[in-house]
Amino acid sequence: MQPLAHTFPLGFIGLGVMGGSMAGHLLNAGYPLNIFNRTRAKADALIAKGAYFCESAAEVARSSSVVFTMLGMPSDVEEIYLGPPGLLQNAKPGTLLIDMTTSSPALAQKIFTEARQREIASLDAPVSGGDIGAREARLSIMVGGEASDFERALPLLKILGKTIVLQGGAGSGQHTKLANQIAIAGAMLGVCEALGYAKRAGLDPHRVLESIGSGAAGSWSLTNLAPRMLAGNFEPGFLVKHLVKDIRLALDSGAILNARTPTVSLAGELYEELLAAGGAEQGTQALFRLFDSTP
């Protein structure tokens, strides 16, 4: 298929911290944009720039050639895509649906199968990069689906991200994102444990960070989040409640695959403890609270 012309209307559903920025990039690129969000106030800035606000997800589907979704939970994805009146019930044959939510691989496969029966294309395309990556249009986008649908979507995905890889068939994007979250959770656990140990040993954790950050232990989390931990800054770049959701998905999927997941299992126990202690709206670096005790 040929790349979409700018006269093709796009749809975007889910205008939260990341979705709002992503939809804005598509609008700034010159595409007519139909938008929907349950909280209309989050759409005001895009409406002011020329986006058209639809009263429902179904209206977005009926009015758009390509529809992006960036939602919170797998239950939201299931409702928007499969529920009445959902995207699949209202999209025209030939429409391309692109779900960028971190969700269940099995749900992505179900949506793909039902979409195909209706002559609708679908991709699962979760992202990594957080709110900063969304604002700066440098997300890593992990895609599952048919190669022809990926090629059709690629010019649009390049507006949103820098690293865009087709991982395989339906659900492969979600599996890749869960692998990403397993690595993130394990790295965060290691950073928190290391700095907690350093403080218990009576060391200056800032000096320790200076030494280990430039060695083999260096990582994105150590460089970017460890200084925030030590400063007591737990403002979110990525919310604890969202990582807990992702860890639960990874553990469920790992069980189905009979995969060994000891690191993310332990990280999950600790993040569940943090969640129960009121940390849902804090950044994932708040895990350090469980390790931060000065002798």
Q: Which residues are annotated as catalytic? A: 177
Query: What's the rounded Cα separation, in Å, for the pair 6 and 45?
Result: 21
Rounding to the nearest 10 degrees, give the CA dihedral for residues 294, 223, 231, 180.
-80
- 294: three-class secondary structure by DSSP: coil
Q: Are 155 and 7 in contact (CB under 8 A)?
A: no
| Closest to 20 (Cα-Cα) out of 181, 153, 155, 137 | 137
- 69: three-class secondary structure by DSSP: strand
In 23-40, which positions are buried (b, 16+ CB within 10 angstroms) versus exposed (e)?
bbbbbebebbbbbbbeee
